[in-house]
Amino acid sequence: MPSPTPGWRSCRTWVTSRRWPHRRRWRNSYSTTRRGVPDVDIGFIGTGVMGRPMAANLAAAGHRLTVHRDTPAAREALGDTVRYAASAADATRGSEAVVLMLPDTPDVEKVMGEVIGVLRPGTLVIDMSSISPAAERGLAEKVAGAGGAYLDAPVSGGEIGARDGTLSIMVGGAAEAVERARPIFEVLGARISHIGPSGAGQVAKIANQVVVGVTIEAVAEALHLAEASDVDPLAVHSALMGGFAASRVLEVHGLRMIKGEYEPGFRIRLHRKDLRLAAEAAEDLGTALPGASLVHGLLGTAVETGLGDHDHSALRLLRDERAG
């Protein structure tokens, strides 16, 4: 943000923002992010593996963050670049936008009970968690009833995408709210896709997780086949990356499997949760997802064998155990 120059007070004006309708206060002409778009007062709730780098990027871009929860890991990642709140309600008060990045549907519903209780009219709530589409539609109605706007905006790209600001963001909600959220989304993601009305972003995310989960299992089986045949799996990986089998999953997670590096970017237990959501959505629609159901079962087996906090590429270890 540029430093004020002599006479800067003459630049101050009383502003009512079109994008943030309840923002009406003295501001100076330099109040923009480092990307040249309006800065936003953000309550950020969720400081896990994904939330920490996302919050760090928003703060680095010039947005003002109040963060919950205050943990040693959050302090290490964010330092004094943000304000820390003792509760979700405290993070919401005074914020123009509230961003949630939480593990599962019950977590979001619990936090939203606090958020809605202190929500100011005009506040934009953005849930970037991966949860039930039906739950999102219900939350959107409650936020609208409190005078706010609501978006479901789950992401894909894992910890690497969160750190690098290259996430794919799948958004459900009103077009006007999506435009208001762009100063936030453009910091966090390389691709912003408005899928449709409330809940549509979560449907897209579930579809994404079906593709990723089934592909991880396919890569695990392919590399297991190579090793069982006494063929160099790295050579096979290189060859596959040059053909029709090439994918981001094969590129990144295939190398993780070959190297045996399973520090979590995205945990097995969370992917199991996402495929549970897929199964629930399919049941509600009266259809079936047999491949996703198979992988959901394998993820469950992985959790039962103590792999729940490993990266989801650790599905590869199940092949070795079964072969043994």
State how far the alpha carbon of 175 is from the alpha carbons of 23, 45, 172, 196, in Å.
Answer: 20, 24, 9, 9
Taking Cα atoms as reference points, which of 261, 280, 301, 254 lies closest to residue 104?
280
Active site residues: 205
For the record, the structure tokens of 183 come out as 């100063």
Per-residue DSSP letter, 56: H
Classify residue 42 by burial, with Cβ atoms within 10 Å: 0-12, 13-18, 19+: buried
For 84, residues 6+ apart whose C-beta sits below 8 A from its C-beta are 66, 67, 68, 70, 74, 75
Alpha-carbon span 130 to 155, nearest angstrom: 8
Please answer whether residues 54 and 162 qualify as being in contact, where contact means their C-beta atoms are separated by less than 8 angstroms: yes
For 235, residues 6+ apart whose C-beta sits below 8 A from its C-beta are none
Collapsed DSSP state (helix, strand, coil) of residue 155: strand
